[in-house]
Amino acid sequence: MNLTPIVAGNWKMHKTPSEGASFIELTKNLLLDIEHVSVIFAPPFTGLFDLNVKPPFYSAAQNCHWEQTGAFTGEISVSMIRDCGAEFVIIGHSERRHVFGESDEWINRKVKAVLAGNMKPILCIGELLNQREAGQTELVLKSQLEQGLAGVEALENIVIAYEPVWAIGTGVTANANQVESAHSSVRNILKELYPESDTIHVLYGGSVKSGNAEELIQIPGVNGFLIGGASLDVESFASITRTVETVQLRTL
The residue ranges of every structural domain in the chain are 6-251
> Using CA atoms, how far apart are residues 200 and 206, in angstroms rounded to an integer?
20
Residue 128 pLDDT level (bands cut at 50, 70, 90): very high
Q: What pLDDT was estimated at residue 139?
A: 97
State in Å, rounded, how far the first CA of the chain is from the last one.
Answer: 11
From 95, 116, 92, select the one nearest 103 (Cα to Cα).
Answer: 92
**Using CA atoms in the order 12, 21, 112, 198, what is the torsion angle rounded to 10 degrees?**
-90
- Which of the residues are catalytic? 93, 163
Cα dihedral 132, 138, 141, 144 sign = negative
pLDDT in tens, 157-213: 999 999 999 887 777 778 999 999 999 999 999 999 999 888 999 999 988 999 999
> Using CA atoms, how far apart are residues 154 and 152, in angstroms rounded to an integer?
6
Give the global pTM.
Answer: 0.96
Q: What percent of the chain has pLDDT over 90?
A: 90
Residue 1 pLDDT level (bands cut at 50, 70, 90): low
pLDDT in tens, 16-74: 999 999 999 999 999 999 999 999 999 999 999 989 899 999 999 999 999 999 999 99
CATH 3.20.20.70, applies to 6-251: yes
Grouping H, G, I as helix, E, B as strand and the rest as coil, residue 112 is helix
The mean pLDDT value of the chain amounts to 95
In this model, does residue 148 exceed pLDDT 90? yes
Per-residue pLDDT, averaged over 135-151, amounts to 97
Phi (first) and psi of residue 61, to 5 degrees: -90, 160
Do 215 and 176 meet the contact criterion of CB atoms below 8 Å apart?
A: yes
Q: What percent of the chain has pLDDT over 70?
A: 100
